[in-house]
């Protein structure tokens, strides 16, 4: 199991994404961990870390998060 995890870590590129959220995400800071599920793309339980954030404009109501897949979660499937 450990060898499989290490091999997966060394051979797969980490997923990066920019996510637009509601103001409820304004409390997230760099290093915080979130789980992403996106049924349209078959993503379930992808563990991501916040790299940076942009609180945007006050009247916009959206927060932009830059996310990177957590390297310590590579090789583990999260289903709940």
Q: What are 21-33's pLDDT values in tens digits?
A: 998 888 999 999 9
Q: What is the pLDDT of residues 38-66, one digit of tens each?
A: 899 888 888 999 999 998 887 888 999 99
Tell whether pTM > 0.75: no
pLDDT band at 75; cut points 50, 70, 90: low
Distance, CA of 51 to CA of 22 (rounded, Å) = 18
Distance, CA of 2 to CA of 23 (rounded, Å) = 39
The two tokens of residue 41 are 């793309």
CB 68 within 8 A of CB 48: yes
The two tokens of residue 15 are 């997923």
């Amino acid at each position: 199991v450990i060898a499989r995890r290490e091999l997966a870590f060394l051979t797969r590129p980490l997923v990066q994404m920019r996510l637009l959220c509601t103001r409820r995400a304004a409390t997230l800071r760099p290093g915080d961990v979130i789980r992403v599920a996106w049924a349209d793309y078959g993503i379930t339980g992808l563990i991501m870390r916040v790299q940076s954030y942009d609180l945007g404009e006050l009247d916009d109501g959206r927060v932009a998060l830059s996310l990177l897949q957590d390297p310590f979660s590579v090789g583990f499937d999260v289903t709940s």
